Copies of this chain bind each other. A is one copy, B any other.
Amino acid sequence: MGALRILLVDDHPVVRAGLRAMLTEFDDFSVAAEAADGDAALRELARLRALGERVDVVLMDLQMGAGMDGVTATAAIRQLDAPPPVLILTTYDTQADILAAVEAGASGYMLKDAPPEQIRQAVLSAAAGRTALAPKVAALLMSRISSPETALTPREVQLLELLATGLTNRAIARQLFISEATVKTHLVHIYGKLGVDNRTSAIALAAQRRIIRTPGT
């Protein structure tokens, strides 16, 4: 088979250039196209398909300055017919990011501080239909299944994230299209699992344990 065709999605030109250089150093990869955000990625994918060009793997960042974020884009790509595997390549290894990506249908999760060889291997794995997880990420997922009683559910993590942005219960309820009562119920569960009794402590602890990413970091 020929070189694997990659779609690069990252809002930083520097990072795209780096990935391009890193992947095309050998002959087993070629960059089919680049995109600066999720919308552009979907457009590029449609364009390439219209031209009959193959895309074997999408390399996707999660944080995009503007436009559609990586999780939304990943979910959208997975809705397509015969979708290419999406390999997440991002800076953060928090539960919230990882869970959201996996839930959206990502077939791998790598960190940007990984050595080039590891990234290349991950791309190969993804293209072959296997999953590719950074060691840190794998460890985190393992620890979750081994101690499910203290683990937060995806929904709870999602609430925690909104909590950390400073929203009130009512605002969270509106944002998630649920009632304020439900928000309170979730919070009580979260407090119980984290061993705290108010929202600020919950955020502090969640940031410490890398469950959520605090704004700005």
Contact = CB atoms under 8 A, between A and B. Distances in A.
Interface of A: 11-22, 65, 89, 91-92, 94, 112-116, 119, 163-168, 196, 198-205, 207-210, 214-217
- Chain copies in the assembled complex: 2
Contacts of A216: 92, 94, 207-210
A198 B168 CA distance: 9
13 contacts: A13-B114, A15-B15, A65-B113, A165-B200, A165-B201, A165-B204, A166-B196, A166-B204, A200-B200, A204-B215, A209-B216, A210-B216, A214-B214
Contacts of A89: 14
Nearest to A18: B18
Nearest to A16: B18
Given A94-B216, A207-B214, A202 B166 contact: yes
A112 to B, nearest CB: 5
Contacts of A21: 17-18, 20-21
Given A65-B113, A164-B200, A216-B94, A15 B13 contact: no
A19 B15 CA distance: 8
A27 to B, nearest CB: 17
3 A-B pairs with the lowest CB-CB distances in the bound complex, closest first: A18-B18, A166-B201, A208-B216
A214 to B, nearest CB: 4
Given A203-B166, A204-B215, A115 B13 contact: yes
Contacts of A163: 200
Nearest to A211: B216
Contacts of A18: 12-21
Given A14-B22, A17-B22, 15 more contacts: A12-B113, A13-B116, A14-B15, A14-B89, A14-B119, A16-B18, A17-B116, A18-B21, A94-B216, A164-B204, A165-B201, A166-B202, A166-B204, A167-B200, A208-B216
Contacts of A17: 17-19, 21-22, 116
